[in-house]
């Protein structure tokens, strides 16, 4: 057996409990296999700290262990592992009665993505004020690489915020669906709960609509998009106005 074949068989057996060890002592190989599983579970614990706190260590380790058994790393870069964890949580039978759990996991995934996104300067609020009035309707927004928009069926952003720090978390005052804006214009990732209408406006702008096109539904309802745009720019979510 060639060296490459031996290494491939060894790596495949490490992440497949049903596979026999490629050669040698099966008890010794079981130690290697267990270390891989423990390491991957630890990576998930580090990536999803609030998800873990919400359900407790024992439940989370069972959930993470099931994920590790079903989903193997596709990259040597461990920070990418767990990107599909929220989708797994959503269909994990023991979490069926916890509809907020996959939402919080999705927020934590977006937080990691934002943290590791490319660096870029954010357009200041003053840049919007400098746009001539006749240009506003056709204005387009280039979003910062670290910006993420999320829509939840639960108060996931409030739950996440309540579990920051070491104080005992308080449940959200209003248990309702939320939408969130995640940005990282500088070194710190921020999570903001969006007011009603903000998600639709920002998602349309993100997807390439002009300001006139994105704001039309809001204006038709008699709402003013101005405060939403100020919030978007102040959050550092926009890279450029074009």
Same domain, 74 and 177: no
Domain check: are 79 and 187 in the same one? Answer: no
112 and 81 in a single domain? The answer is: no
Residue 232 and residue 149 share a domain: yes
216 and 227 assigned to the same domain: yes
Chain-centre distance for alpha carbon 228: 22
Does residue 89 sit in the same domain as residue 104? no
Burial class (CB in 10 A: 0-12, 13-18, 19+), 119: exposed
Is the domain of 11 the same as that of 109?
Answer: no
Number of domains in the chain: 2
Expressed as residue numbers, the domain containing 26 is: 1-98
Contact 99, 159 (CB under 8 A): no
Return phi, psi of residue 82, to 5°: 100, 5
Per-residue pLDDT of the chain (242 residues; tens, 9 = 90+): 555 655 565 555 555 655 666 666 566 655 555 566 888 999 999 999 999 999 999 999 999 999 998 988 887 778 889 999 999 999 999 999 999 999 999 999 999 999 999 999 999 999 999 999 999 999 999 999 999 999 999 999 999 999 998 888 988 988 999 999 999 988 899 999 999 999 999 999 999 999 999 999 999 999 999 999 999 999 999 999 99
Residues 93 and 104 in one domain: no
Q: Within this chain, do residues 94 and 135 fall inside the same structural domain, yes or no?
A: no
Strands annotated E in the chain: 141-143, 148-151, 179-183, 190-193, 238-241
Does 115 share its domain with 224?
yes
pTM for the model: 0.86
Among 98, 123, 153, residue at a domain's last position: 98
Tokens of 44: 């998930």
Where does a domain end: 98, 128, 157? Answer: 98
Are 94 and 162 members of one domain?
no
- Boundary-marking domain end, from 75, 98, 121: 98
């Amino acid at each position: 057996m060639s060296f490459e074949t031996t290494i491939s068989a060894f790596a495949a057996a490490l992440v497949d409990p049903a596979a026999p060890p490629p050669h040698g002592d099966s008890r010794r190989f079981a130690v290697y296999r267990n270390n891989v599983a423990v390491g991957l579970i630890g990576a998930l614990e580090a990536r999803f700290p609030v998800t873990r706190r919400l359900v407790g260590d024992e439940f989370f380790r069972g959930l993470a262990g099931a994920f590790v058994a079903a989903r193997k790393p596709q990259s040597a870069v461990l920070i990418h592992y767990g990107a599909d964890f929220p989708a797994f949580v959503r269909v994990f039978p023991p979490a069926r009665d916890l509809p907020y759990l996959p939402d919080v996991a999705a927020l934590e995934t977006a937080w990691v993505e934002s943290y590791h996104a490319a660096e870029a300067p954010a357009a200041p609020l003053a840049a919007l004020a400098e746009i001539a009035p006749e240009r506003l309707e056709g204005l387009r927004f280039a979003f910062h690489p670290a910006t993420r928009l999320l829509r939840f069926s639960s108060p996931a952003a409030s739950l996440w915020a309540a579990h920051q720090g070491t104080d005992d978390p308080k449940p959200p005052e209003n248990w309702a669906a939320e939408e969130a804006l995640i940005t990282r214009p500088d070194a710190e990732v921020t999570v903001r709960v969006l007011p009603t209408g903000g998600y639709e406006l920002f998602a349309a702008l993100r997807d390439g609509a002009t300001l006139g096109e994105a704001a039309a539904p809001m204006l038709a309802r008699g709402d003013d998009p101005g405060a939403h745009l100020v919030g978007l720019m102040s959050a550092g979510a926009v890279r450029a106005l074009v």
